[in-house]
């Protein structure tokens, strides 16, 4: 019998080691946040079901499955504490099966995003536009159980969910854009990591990998931009439901920028200095690339695109300023933030042209953009000839 995507994922995890089990609620969080993460898991599953049908419609059959797993894949040398997210091509599919792809978050990855937002909103001097910040702790208090103001507590939860939503879309577009096929080598599985890197990636050109990461970033932001403007939400977000469009993009800028900074902080368990050999772009490059994308593409109206991009940039600035003040969340952040910035600036000279090339041409034959373009071409030729 052909395995479902869920069954294929369980098979994959079993073969990867008995400790890698599907995580169960409350995921190490208190009840309210555990329920929110359960709602996110349900929303993510529905999203991938919808995307699977859309890919099938253009001739790309790809069974998809999302889940949260208890532990990270430990066959890398990072020393990472367990926070990671993965896009995986099933290497164990039977000949009779259409190979599935999985998007997996570790429980620590999801949990620590919630805890990070909780930590930020407990500080009275931060995000003073949200709720009643005077109910929160002064800067001298290092540890608090969570935001005291219920409005700020709800905002922290909603922003964590929005951060996870961007991460979900990012990993999905690694799958849909053919990135896993692009890195696959004979005899090895194809798996991309959000934080660390797998042995399968060791022989991959770091430059190539950085381009794939930026491509997934831009596709994820493109998807979220469409959703935000249309009022669609994977999981209910109170601030997005009541805010103006500009405010929504400020919230979005905060969520995405925090994710990039958290990933960089988690990666620095391995080394503190950003180098050309790193597989993930410097967070400054990711920030600048997405801001530039929004300036040109947030809306068909140029002036409106600039306005929304400016709001997004304010959200980016909010996070940078907050993390510089948050020694409890990011020890010595002000010191390590500057490391590697000169190299990152030089890397954009080749990163951006290469990113533009693959976005135009597609990554490989299995890139949904290339497949969709081939399907449109006969229609365009027919219209041109009529």
User: Tokens 């066959």 belong to which residue?
Assistant: 75
Which residue ranges of the chain lie beneath pLDDT 50? 76-79, 334-336, 380-381
How many angstroms separate the CA atoms of 104 and 9, rounded? 9
Model confidence, pTM = 0.92
Instruction: State the pLDDT at residue 76.
Output: 46
Residues 304-338 pLDDT 10s: 999 999 999 999 999 999 988 876 555 555 444 55
Q: Nearest-CA neighbor of 286 among 251, 312, 325? A: 312
- In this prediction, residue 142 carries a pLDDT of 54
249 neighbors 228 (Cβ within 8 angstroms): yes
Q: Which strands, in side-by-side order, build the sheet including 64-69?
A: 64-69, 101-106, 85-89, 190-193
User: What is the β-pairing status of strands 190-193 and 85-89?
Assistant: antiparallel
* Sign of the CA dihedral with 285 first, then 372, 170, and 255 last: positive
**CA–CA distance, 21 with 92 (Å, rounded to integer):** 17
CB 125 within 8 A of CB 139: yes
Cβ-based neighbours of 206, under 8 Å, separated by 6 or more: 276, 277, 278, 279
Q: Is 340 exposed, middle or buried (0-12, 13-18, 19+ CB in 10 A)?
A: buried
Residue-level pLDDT at 74: 63
Residues for the chain: how many in total?
386
């Amino acid at each position: 019998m052909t395995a479902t995507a869920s069954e294929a994922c369980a098979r994959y995890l079993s073969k990867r080691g008995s400790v890698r089990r599907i995580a169960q609620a409350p995921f190490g969080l208190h009840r309210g946040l555990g329920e929110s993460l359960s709602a996110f898991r349900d929303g993510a599953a529905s999203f991938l079901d919808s995307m699977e049908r859309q890919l099938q419609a253009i001739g790309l059959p790809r069974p998809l499955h999302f889940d949260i797993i208890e532990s990270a894949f430990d066959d890398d040398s990072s020393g990472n504490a367990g926070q990671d997210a993965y896009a995986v091509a099933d290497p164990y599919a039977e000949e009779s099966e259409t190979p599935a792809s999985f998007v997996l978050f570790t429980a620590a990855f999801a949990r620590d995003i919630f805890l990070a937002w909780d930590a930020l909103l407990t500080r009275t001097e931060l995000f003073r536009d949200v709720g009643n910040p005077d109910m929160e702790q002064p800067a001298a208090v290092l540890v608090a159980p969570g935001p005291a103001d219920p409005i700020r507590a709800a905002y922290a939860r909603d922003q964590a969910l929005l951060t996870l939503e961007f991460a979900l879309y990012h990993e999905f577009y690694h799958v849909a854009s053919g990135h896993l096929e692009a890195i696959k080598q004979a005899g090895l599985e194809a798996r991309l990591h959000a934080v660390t890197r797998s042995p399968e990636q060791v022989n991959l050109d770091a430059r190539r990998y950085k381009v794939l990461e930026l491509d997934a970033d831009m596709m994820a932001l493109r998807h979220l931009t469409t959703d935000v403007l249309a009022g669609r939400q994977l999981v209910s977000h109170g601030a997005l439901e009541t805010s103006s469009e500009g405010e929504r993009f400020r919230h979005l800028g905060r969520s995405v920028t925090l994710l990039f900074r958290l990933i960089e902080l988690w990666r620095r368990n391995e080394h503190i200095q950003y180098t050309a050999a790193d597989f993930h772009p410097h967070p400054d490059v990711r920030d600048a690339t997405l801001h530039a994308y929004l300036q040109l593409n947030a809306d068909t109206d140029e002036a409106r695109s600039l306005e929304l991009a400016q709001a997004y940039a304010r959200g980016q600035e909010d996070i940078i300023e907050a993390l510089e003040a948050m020694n409890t969340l990011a020890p010595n952040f002000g010191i390590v933030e500057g490391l590697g910035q000169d190299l990152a600036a030089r890397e954009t000279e080749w990163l951006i042209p290469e990113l533009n090339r693959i976005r135009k041409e597609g990554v490989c034959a299995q890139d949904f953009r290339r497949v969709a373009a081939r399907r449109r071409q006969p229609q365009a030729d027919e219209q041109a000839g009529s």
